[in-house]
Amino acid sequence: MLHGLKLMAVAVIAQAVLGMARTFCADAQRATIAIAALALVSFVPGSLAQLAAIVVGGLAGLAAVRSGEREAADDFAPHLSRRAALVALALFLALLALSFAPAGEGLAALAAAFYRSGALVFGGGHVVLPLLRDALVAPGFLSQGAFLAGYGAAQALPGPLFAVSAGLGALAGSPPAGVAGGLVALIAIFLPGLLALVAALPFWGALRGEPRAQAAMAGINAAVVGLLAAALYDPAFVGAVASPRDFAVAAAAFVLLVAWRAPPLFVAALAAAAGVALQL
């Protein structure tokens, strides 16, 4: 069943790459940014390379992407001071910097891994896959098989994909693990998004209508398509597809999700059953 869920993960990631590419890589410039990001993280693996791909994508967006007409400023005026926003931004950046520091094992290392992954996600929840994989599998917190199976199982559940962090934190081989590990992971992965939200709210109206901000975000979103496409190959495809029969199951799950728009829970159940059948 776990093997089938890993094949389900391949289909889900392929679906996400397809959907995001249609939205975020609609022209030659953004498609080129995506391929450049894919090449960067393929040749230079690691969290720093992923961060570099996002930064370079934003710079390339400023240089090459046409942002279009200026959007009207929002009437949305949150009751939040700029001082509070700047404090949230400073805390966001300080914790992000600390998350890159060597932490060994234990609670601090586990929290840093999930905080870093949550802080660097752009463009959609599925982008967390390559970030979490690098943060958890590479240091040995979790096996690649357990990671992919958990990711595949999460597709069958309602709610944000970030909720998979609770399962991964509970399974992590580093203390505290169990329920405590799940809570630490869940809080750590959602915290940077909440801090970023507080930091951005007072400036949102101005940022939303700024052409340069739009261009930079267009480049960043294109870059994260490249990051996710790289993750589609490794760890998803490499870690799950070991035979032509595996590939057929993953392809069938992809068609069910994309062409038939089947409910993910139904597809996950079929994939798990197929995984069992492949072992008979």
Residue 177 has a pLDDT of 81
Q: pLDDT band for position 271 (50/70/90)? A: very high
CB 247 within 8 A of CB 7: no
Residue 128 has a pLDDT of 85
Domain boundaries, the chain: 2-278
The phi-psi region of residue 261 (left if phi > 0; otherwise alpha if psi is between -120 and 50; otherwise beta) is: left
Q: What share of the chain has pLDDT > 70, as a percent?
A: 94
The mean pLDDT value of the chain amounts to 89
Q: Phi and psi at residue 70, in whole multiples of 5°?
A: -70, 130
Residue 66 has a pLDDT of 64
- State the Cα–Cα distance between residues 6 and 252, nearest whole angstrom: 14
Mean pLDDT throughout 168-190?
90
pLDDT in tens, 85-141: 999 999 999 999 999 888 777 889 999 999 999 998 876 678 888 889 888 888 888
CB 249 within 8 A of CB 277: no
